[in-house]
Each structure stands twice: as C-alpha cells, then as structure tokens.
C-alpha cells in the first residue's frame, strides 16, 4: 500500500531497531542525536548552497552506486532504518526550505521598503515637475503680456504718417 512501510502494523512504533522496541533512554538519545544531525546537515547545506560537496557527499563505487560517503560522526547518529533516514531527510529539507523562505521574505521586505522610498522620490519629482510647468505657464503669460505692451507702446509712439502712408 502506498504510504505505509512494509512490515509495520498500524499500532507499531516507528522507532524499532531490528524488530525490537528501543528503550526510552535510547529513543531520547537518538532523538537528540537526530536533532544534532539535522542542525549539522542544514548548516552544511547552508554553507555550500547548491554546490556539490566534493569531500563530504561524494558518490561511492565510482559514482554509479546509490551510497554516499558521509562523515563518520553523521553516520553514527543517523538511524539505521531507511524509512527513518528518509524522515530525517524530509525534516532537513523542510528546515532548509523554511530557512530559504524566511530569507526570501526578509529580502522581499527590504525590496518593498526600497520601492516605497523610490515611489516617494518619484512623487516628489512629479510635484516639482508640476510646479515647474505652472511657473513656465505663468512666465510665458507674463512674457506674452509684456510683448503685447511693448508692441502697443511702439505703435503709439510712431507718428501716424509712418503707420498710414499716403
């Protein structure tokens, strides 16, 4: 069946070791160790990003097999059950995704602040443009009136014989 682990019934514990139940002390120790593994692996993935770690996760058997060479300290705290390993991997992935989402949300917030600042600057510049346009219109109107006055004065200062020759 999809989603169920082979060999486990509904009521059986997910923390079994070679068919026997783990002691409470060992469960706590493994849970603590898994937390340390998660933290270590997330820290390792954050340091290297998407680059392949040449020494830490190199493929064994010439690169063709499905086994990875991990540091012994990590191997010692990983659960032996492959399904539990997948669960640890899922949690590591969830933590990495959550960290990336948080980082992107922080970056989005910073970019929104920058956008708001730029929009404020744009608004100020648009106000200055509007002020400059109204000043230009007022100055053009005054210049036009002054030019009309000069023409009128010039026309009235000339003798009528120059204006209306016979």
Distance CA 165, CA 29 (A): 120
- Would residue 8 count as lying in a domain? no
- Go through 45-69 and write b for each residue having 16 or more CB atoms within 10 A of its CB, e for each that does not: beeeeeeeeeeeeeeeeeeeeeeee
- Would residue 4 count as lying in a domain? no
- Would residue 74 count as lying in a domain? yes
- Would residue 65 count as lying in a domain? yes
pLDDT per residue as tens digits for the range 62-106: 444 456 688 888 888 889 899 999 999 999 999 999 999 999 999
Residue 60 sits in which domain range? 21-108
pLDDT per residue as tens digits for the range 111-152: 999 999 999 999 999 999 999 999 999 999 999 999 999 999
Same domain? For 120 and 53 the reply is no
Same domain? For 97 and 126 the reply is no
- Would residue 155 count as lying in a domain? yes
Dig out the tokens for 158 from the structure: 């000339």
Dig out the tokens for 121 from the structure: 């600057």
* Single pTM value for the model: 0.46
Helix (H, G, I), strand (E, B) or coil at 14: coil
- Would residue 5 count as lying in a domain? no
Q: What is the DSSP pairing of strand 20-21 with strand 16-17? A: antiparallel
Same domain? For 28 and 68 the reply is yes
Q: Are 77 and 34 in contact (CB under 8 A)?
A: yes
Same domain? For 132 and 104 the reply is no
Count of domains for the chain: 2
Same domain? For 92 and 60 the reply is yes
Grade residue 1 by pLDDT with cuts at 50, 70 and 90. very low
- Would residue 6 count as lying in a domain? no
pLDDT score of 72: 87
pLDDT score of 166: 65
pLDDT score of 96: 96
Dig out the tokens for 33 from the structure: 């160790």
Same domain? For 64 and 90 the reply is yes
pLDDT per residue as tens digits for the range 27-72: 666 666 666 666 666 666 555 444 433 333 433 444 444 566 888 8
Distance CA 66, CA 59 (A): 7
């Amino acid at each position: 069946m999809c989603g169920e682990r082979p060999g486990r019934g509904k009521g059986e514990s997910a923390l079994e070791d070679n068919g026997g139940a783990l002691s409470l002390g060992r469960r706590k120790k493994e849970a603590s160790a898994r937390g340390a593994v998660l933290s270590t692996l997330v820290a390792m993935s954050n340091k290297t990003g998407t680059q392949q770690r040449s020494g830490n996760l190199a493929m064994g058997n010439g690169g063709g097999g499905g086994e990875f060479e991990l540091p012994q300290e990590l191997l010692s705290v990983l659960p032996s059950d492959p399904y539990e390993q997948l669960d640890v991997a899922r949690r590591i992935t969830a933590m990495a995704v959550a960290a990336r989402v948080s980082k992107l949300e922080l970056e989005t917030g910073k970019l929104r602040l920058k956008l708001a600042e730029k929009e404020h600057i744009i608004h100020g510049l648009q106000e200055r443009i509007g002020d400059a346009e109204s000043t230009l219109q007022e100055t053009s109107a005054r210049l036009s009136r002054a030019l009309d006055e000069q023409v009128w004065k010039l026309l009235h200062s000339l003798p009528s014989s120059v204006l209306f020759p016979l």
